[in-house]
Structure 1
Amino acid sequence: MINPINPQNTNPNWFLRARLKTRQLLLLIALDEQRNIHRAADELHMTQPAASKQLKDLEDMLDVKLFERLPRGMEPTIYGESMIRHARMALTSLSLAHEDIVALKSGLSGQVSIGAIMSPGMALLPRAIARVKQAAPQMRIGVEVETSNILLERLKRGSLDFLIARILEDDSGAELQYEELADEPVCVVTRVGHPFEHADALSLATIARAAWVLPPNGSVLRHRCDMMFRSAGLAPPDNVVDTTALLLILSLLLHTDSLHLMPLEVARYYAQLNILSIVPIEVPVKMDGFGIITRRNHLLSPSAALVLDAIRTAGAELYRTQS
């Protein structure tokens, strides 16, 4: 009888029956990185014949070829690429499990790894983490602040528990689950004391002639910035430094009369510290909304679930206040 959930009637726990070895998973990753059986074997302190046998056993077990043997090395097949991706996720999960056990033995409350884009990383996460630390002061919380595309890859590999980021069009399928938190409006910022700081009735034509620090061409924000000026019948600024490096952006703003488009939450943070000033002009530009991104059908640890609840609570407070 054919199982409708498993139409090929294969054992869902085939890896138990086949006695899949952690060593074979490590070999897959080494081969992907080295693309050479000799170097991969050396990396794992194995002999080349032993590595070749383990790879053959795995290919026989799966009944597919995982690597093409080429004159100058090895190249993963489509099956190999899929197996390598899952091998990385499995080994990452085992590593995180070990870290959790070590943390629990040490009397800690577990470990959570979060990815966030800059705006919620500076406003939302500090509130949520402060709330969690009151209840579980010894919980180990790691935060990586990066762009959404980089964070999404790390989430898929299993190196992050969840994200506060933007979902991308290519990642809107069944593998990920998205829960929107807020939009991300942007504003124009400059140094404190800039002539525009207290100007009345600034226009797009005026700021178009200024010097700017902007993301590079091809980025979403740069495209929307250029379209803002073009829609008003203006040429986009031509006196521009292209960069996304925050420290360089801040330094350029502090030492020149340049303008910059920045998420409003981040700009408010720097304005409170009297580092930057928000230019009094409303710009019809905003980034797409961001939210909580998790892997569908992936069970979060109790520690990760606790942090996620704190983020939802802090998000409801923060974004309701700002709306």
Structure 2
Amino acid sequence: MPPDMTHSSFCNGIRYKHLMLIDTLARTRNMHAAATRMSLTQPALSKMLRDVEQQFGFALFERLPRSMSPTELGDHVIRFAQNALAESQQFVDQVNRLRNGGHGCLRVGGIFASTAQVLPQAIAAIKARYPLLSIEVIEQSSDHLLALLEQKKLDIMIGRFTDERFHALFDFQPLEPEPFSLVVNHSHPLNTQVSIDPAALGDWPWVLYPVGTPIRDRLEQAFKVVGIPTPPDSVETVSMSVFLQLLQSAPMIAMLPRSMIAAQLTSGLLKELPCSLTLSPLEYGVVTRKDETLSASARLFVDILIEGVRRRGEYVTWGDRFSCA
């Protein structure tokens, strides 16, 4: 067995062009296709791959008749190469923006509840201070956002942990609980009832989050608690606009974060159903990678998020007190 690779030998031997080769081969699984994409001859690419594997001391890809599949160790190297290339691209983009008078780039992921109020308010606040700060927002469920954060495709995310292993990878700063509402449109026949038997819910079509998403998992558990099966007549989506269009145009039922439908509930377009089928609120917060220093803009954004939620909580509390006086 060859001697272990040292950090010094790795830094001296591996170049970004080698990482590009590893990434390109991983994506194409074909020597000729990879050579074409990298504008190299196939012999030149083959020699470069041999040199890289010699540096690592093991094969990165299996040479099969019609493809090149990563070895077990190769998979680990591929993930490193792709993360390093993603970081280098972000670095280049940041430098170019800063050189041209900008304030860098911030990539933020948010669960659906956060994008209704918390995230837009924080974006407006930080853009008022730094108009040239470029902000990319990705709205998804927590499981998808955690994968993007782990791959360093996000700087921060607003969501929650979906698996125990994430506690070792990320830090969590709580923001607020996320209450849910069981809703229908204002003309739905169920609105005439004072109390609804959960069994009656299965007689109507539903709009559901897709199987495997955290909200869907919790809803499936809630169905079991009240002793009803998952409604067979359903549409699955993560799109808020699709949820709202379906709810408003058909006698459908949905369980949604209350912050996402606050305006529709206030206007009367949607109504909450009085039913024992409920989801208890879960706290969500700011998730960042452990032992990694945030950029100045990311740190400021986190501070703005936390302060904005604190002030909103004070406003709601004071409003409640005032209304009860």
The bucket for the TM-score relative to the shorter chain is 0.7 to 0.9
1:25 shift after superposition: 0.8
The answer to whether residue 52 in structure 2 is matched with residue 58 in structure 1 is yes
Counterpart residue number, 2:112: 118
The aligned runs of 1:15-164 (5 Å cut-off) are 15-18=10-13, 20-164=14-158
The answer to whether the 8 Å contact 2:86/2:153 transfers is: yes
1:250 shift after superposition: 2.0
In structure 2, C-alpha distance between the alignment counterparts of 1:199 and 1:150, rounded to whole Å: 38
The aligned runs of 1:1-323 (5 Å cut-off) are 11-18=6-13, 20-169=14-163, 171-197=165-191, 199-217=193-211, 219-272=213-266, 275-281=269-275, 283-286=277-280, 288-318=282-312
**TM-score normalised according to structure 2 size:** 0.86
SS of residue matched to 1:46: coil
1:91 shift after superposition: 1.3
1:112 shift after superposition: 0.4
Q: Deviations over 1:54-98 (max 9, x none)?
A: 111111111121111111121111221111111111111111111
In the superposition, relative to structure 1, how do residues 179 and 234 fare at CA in structure 2: closer, same or farther (>3 Å)? same
SS of residue matched to 2:102: coil
Return the letter of the residue paired with 1:30.
Answer: T
1:316 shift after superposition: 2.7
Q: Deviations over 1:151-172 (max 9, x none)?
A: 2222222221111122221642
In the superposition, relative to structure 1, how do residues 110 and 216 fare at CA in structure 2: closer, same or farther (>3 Å)? closer
1:48 shift after superposition: 1.0
In the superposition, relative to structure 1, how do residues 140 and 275 fare at CA in structure 2: closer, same or farther (>3 Å)? farther
Q: Deviations over 1:99-146 (max 9, x none)?
A: 111211222211101111111121210111121122212211110111
In the superposition, relative to structure 1, how do residues 115 and 50 fare at CA in structure 2: closer, same or farther (>3 Å)? same
Percent of matched pairs sharing the same residue: 29
SS of residue matched to 1:109: coil
1:287 shift after superposition: 6.3
In structure 2, C-alpha distance between the alignment counterparts of 1:233 and 1:11, rounded to whole Å: 59
Q: Which moved more, 1:270-279 or 1:153-162?
A: 270-279
Q: Deviations over 1:242-274 (max 9, x none)?
A: 443433322221111111110121121433465
**TM-score normalised according to structure 1 size:** 0.86
Q: Which runs of 5+ in 1 are unaligned?
A: 1-7
In structure 1, C-alpha distance between the alignment counterparts of 2:167 and 2:217, rounded to whole Å: 25
In structure 2, C-alpha distance between the alignment counterparts of 1:264 and 1:10, rounded to whole Å: 53
In the superposition, relative to structure 1, how do residues 55 and 228 fare at CA in structure 2: closer, same or farther (>3 Å)? same
SS of residue matched to 1:122: coil
Return the letter of the residue paired with 2:279.
Answer: V
The answer to whether the 8 Å contact 1:165/1:293 transfers is: yes
Q: Deviations over 1:260-304 (max 9, x none)?
A: 110121121433465433334464314643222212222222112
Q: What is the RMSD computed on CA atoms of the aligned residues?
A: 2.7
